Each structure stands twice: as C-alpha cells, then as structure tokens.
Amino acid sequence: MLRYLLSRLISSAALLLGVLFLVFMLLHLTGDPVSLMVSRYASPEDIEALREELGFNRPLLVQFGDFLSGAFQGDFGSSFRYRQPAMDLVLQRIPATIELASVALLMAILMGVTIGILGGSNPNTILDSIARGIGLLGQTIPTFWLGLILIIIFSLRLGWFPSFGRETFTFLGLTLPDQSIVLPAFALSLFTTGQLARFTRSAVMEVMNEDYVTTARSKGLKKKRIYFKYILKNSAIPLISIIGVQFSYLLSGSIYIETIFSWPGLGSLLAEAVGTRDFFLVQATAFFTSLVVIGLHLLTDLVYVLVDPRIRYR
C-alpha cells in the first residue's frame, strides 16, 4: 500500500513538472513580456536594460530552473499588472472557483445520475429515449452559448437571477454564495450532466444483465434490495473515476463560464492573465490548476480501492 502510494506520488510529481515545463516554454515562445511593459518610445537600450534587470535575457532553461526553485519556496513571482505576488492573487480566487465547481458537480450528479439510472433501468422505453436525448444534448450544446441563453431568459427576461458577479452571505461563520451562483453553476454543469447520464445509463444496463442479478432474483430477494445492493452498487464503481475526472474538469474548465458571468475565480483570472501576457500570473495559475487536476486523479484512484474490494495494491 505504502509502496503503491509512493510510486503514484512520484509519477504525479513528474507529471506536474512536465506540465509546468510545457506551459513555461509555450509562454516564452510568444516572446518575452518586456516589450509589453515599456512605452512605445523606449530605446532598444532601455528595453535591454529592463530585460537584464528582470532576468529575461538569460537562457530559458536557467529561467525555468529559477522559476522552479522559487516555486518550491512558494514564490511564483509578481504579477506585472497587479504588482502583487502572483500566488496571492491565485489564492484569493480559489474559493470562488471551488464553490462554482462543487455546486456544478452536485447539480450534475443529481441530474445526470438520476437520468442515467432511470434510462438504464428501463431500456428502450420513452424514459430511456429522453435520458439519451439529455445525455447527448448536454454534450453538444456549447457552454458559452448556453451561458448567454441562460442570462437572456433567467436574468434579463424573468429577472430571477443576477446576470453577473458573485454575491455572498454569511451563515454559521461560513461565507457562502447566494443565488448568483445558480446560473453559472448550471451552465457549467450541463456537459458533465450529459457525460454522467450516458455513463450511468450504460453502466446500469450492463449490470442488469450480469449473472449475479439473476442469482439475486433466484434467491427471491426483494426488488428494492436487488436494485440497491446489486444493480446500483455495482454500477457506481465505474462512475467514481468519471466523477473524479469531471470534477477536475469543472475546476479547471470554467474559463468561459467565469468570463461570461464575471465570476471572480481562477478561470477568469487565467483568461485575463493570458490576455495581458502576465507571465508570472499565468504560470502560478497553471501550476495551481495542474496541481488540483493531478491531485484529484490520484485521489480518485485511491477512492476506487476503498470502494471496489477486487482492487488491491501489488
């Protein structure tokens, strides 16, 4: 168990390093940021001096090494634009993103799994067709388009929800988002809803044809018990990895939604940082996002082991 954990940790760290290297290189392929920072009338000598001062004239590998050693100590450099440590900016934005992703995941699980179970347990009925339709729709509607439609209908027409921003209230000492989260979370969740509906449906259908379900029926067990202890429990196992992957997607993939709804999370921060070529801020955001994605995958694998008795570490 410990050895398995250790090897997974090492490979995860290597993966993280690889991602950071890629981001770093791609970023520098677009040119160095100094040209953006100086006025149009600066002389080549001035630019060169600033480059020297900020260390952008050194070989890329050295700069990458610098970045890494800084990162190890929690120093990701400062945002050019905000003139603040990049990591501080990232940390400020994290709660909003986690909120949005969690609410979206919850919505997706509630809707997607329910739809999938209903469809999968009644194959080739109208219910099943509806489930398949929703599954397909969720995966084909472009998120940003959906976001705009939601804004037009539910905030401009009906006025039920605000069209942008994040409002909070305090409850039992916790800062929680109010109804301003509903539209962005729903828009964000729809793709995952479709994905979960599809996977749940096929998992349930597959499990219903398993021999052990026939055994359960041959034992004269109550329908409810067969449903929960045999069909749903076995269908849930393949879903765990999908939910894990989807959560990391929701955490990292909310750029469009956060931008459309002006949700002050990591996604909108990243969009802004890329737009202004705020190098250190992009790197800090990328670092954090990769860390979360890779960490969630690791966690998913571990949860698997707890839930499925057939899996054991070697």
Partner 1 sequence: MKPLLSVRNLSTRFDTFDGSVYAVNDVSFDLKAGETLAVVGESGSGKSVTMLSLLGLLPRSTWVTGSAIFAPEGFELDLLSVSKAELNSLRGNKISIIFQDALRSLNPVMTVGEQITESLITHHQYNKNGAHKRAVELLEMVGIAQPDKRYYAYPHMFSGGMRQRAMIAIAISCTPDILIADEPTTALDVTIQAQIVELTRRLQQDLGIAVIWITHDLGVVAGLADRVMVMYGGTGVEIAPVDLLYENPGHPYTAGLLGAIPSIAGSSADRLVSIEGAPPDLFQEPRHCQFAWRCRYVFDRCWKEKPPGYIISPGQVVKCFYDGREKTPRVEE
- With CB under 8 A as the contact rule, the residue among 16, 221, 291, 303 that binds partner 1 is 221
69, amino acid identity: S
Stretch that binds partner 1, among 140-148, 159-167, 175-183, 210-218 (CB under 8 A): 210-218
- With CB under 8 A as the contact rule, the residue among 152, 225, 228, 275 that binds partner 1 is 225
Angle at 43 between CA 41 and CA 49, to 5 degrees: 125
> Which residues, in sequence order, are CB contacts of 268 under 8 Å at separation 6+?
93, 255, 258, 259, 262
- With CB under 8 A as the contact rule, the residue among 230, 249, 256, 263 that binds partner 1 is 230
Answer yes or no: are the C-beta atoms of 156 and 163 closer than 8 Å: yes
> Which residues, in sequence order, are CB contacts of 252 under 8 Å at separation 6+?
266, 267, 289, 292, 293
Determine if 309 is a binding residue for partner 1 (CB under 8 A).
yes
Q: Within 10 Å of residue 3's Cβ, how many Cβ atoms?
A: 9
Rounded to a whole number of angstroms, the minimum distance from the CB of residue 118 to partner 1 is 17
Answer yes or no: are the C-beta atoms of 253 and 268 closer than 8 Å: no
Residue with tokens 């990243």: 270
Per DSSP, what are the bridge partners of residue 174? 171
Stretch that binds partner 1, among 78-86, 89-97, 155-163, 228-236 (CB under 8 A): 228-236
Determine if 308 is a binding residue for partner 1 (CB under 8 A).
yes
Determine if 215 is a binding residue for partner 1 (CB under 8 A).
yes
Determine if 125 is a binding residue for partner 1 (CB under 8 A).
no
Determine if 40 is a binding residue for partner 1 (CB under 8 A).
no
Nearer to partner 1, 30 or 214 (CB): 214
Answer yes or no: are the C-beta atoms of 40 and 52 closer than 8 Å: no
- With CB under 8 A as the contact rule, the residue among 6, 10, 217, 299 that binds partner 1 is 217
Where would I find the beta strands (DSSP E) of 154-305? 168-171, 174-177
Determine if 234 is a binding residue for partner 1 (CB under 8 A).
yes
Interacting residues toward partner 1 by CB under 8 A: 210-212, 214-222, 225, 229-230, 233-234, 237, 307-310
